[in-house]
């Protein structure tokens, strides 16, 4: 297959996606693998896109075929490996985002161990954050709104608890 007949990604609507197993385009199990010409050199790359997403979750180098000119055709085993790898990339990204938006610390206060949480809600128009405290049994003790850029650390959490859970000054 030459460059002029290279398959394209026509439709990203998951309801209209059909199973496709071609040499440079595989669509199955909610994923699309598309082998594309690498713009930076003479090689090839593969883009893995989850159905319904506009951007690929993974783009990586693809193996050359025996003729050292055209890409190796996609097959079932390669597609399965690509799906697994792309799924792992998405899972790691989600874990990183969760860790960035939801933090917690243990604080000692009057002989009890409290959990102080800082949660950011990344609203496009008006992002906000909350600072909350729970006792050892998970019972809520306090919850206040704080700026998204609130400096959450052991010292600020301890000061908030020791200060009687009063909303921190800006």
Residue 168 in this model has a pLDDT that exceeds 70: yes
Nearest CA to 46 among 58, 31, 28, 29? Answer: 58
Nearest CA to 127 among 96, 164, 100, 104? Answer: 100
- What pTM was computed for the model? 0.71
Please state the domain extents for the chain. Answer: 3-74, 101-162
Percent of the chain with pLDDT over 90: 78
The Cα–Cα gap between 62 and 98 comes to 31
Say which residue, 63 or 5, is predicted with more confidence.
63
The Cα–Cα gap between 76 and 88 comes to 18
Cα-Cα-Cα-Cα dihedral sign, residues 146, 150, 153, 155: negative
Cβ atoms of 82 and 58 within 8 Å: the answer is yes
What is the structure's pLDDT at 17? 61
Residues written for the chain? 170
Say which residue, 170 or 38, is predicted with more confidence.
38
Percent of the chain with pLDDT over 70: 89
Question: In this predicted model, what pLDDT tens digit does every residue of 142-163 receive, in sequence order?
Answer: 999 999 999 999 999 999 999 9
């Amino acid at each position: 297959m030459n460059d002029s007949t290279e398959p394209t990604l026509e439709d990203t609507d998951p309801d209209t996606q059909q199973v496709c197993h071609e040499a440079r385009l595989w669509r199955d199990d909610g994923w699309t693998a598309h082998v594309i010409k690498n713009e930076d050199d003479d090689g090839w790359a593969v883009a893995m896109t989850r159905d319904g997403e506009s951007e690929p979750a993974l783009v990586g180098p693809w193996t050359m075929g025996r003729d050292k000119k055209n890409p190796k055709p996609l097959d079932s085993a390669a597609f399965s490996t690509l799906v697994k790898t792309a799924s792992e990339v998405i899972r790691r990204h989600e874990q990183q985002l969760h860790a960035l938006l939801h933090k917690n610390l243990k604080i000692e206060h009057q002989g009890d161990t409290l959990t102080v949480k800082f949660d950011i809600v990344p609203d496009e128009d008006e992002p906000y954050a909350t600072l909350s405290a729970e006792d050892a049994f998970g019972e809520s003790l306090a919850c206040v709104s704080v700026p998204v850029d609130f400096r959450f650390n052991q010292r600020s959490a301890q000061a908030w608890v020791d200060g009687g859970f009063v909303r921190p000054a800006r």
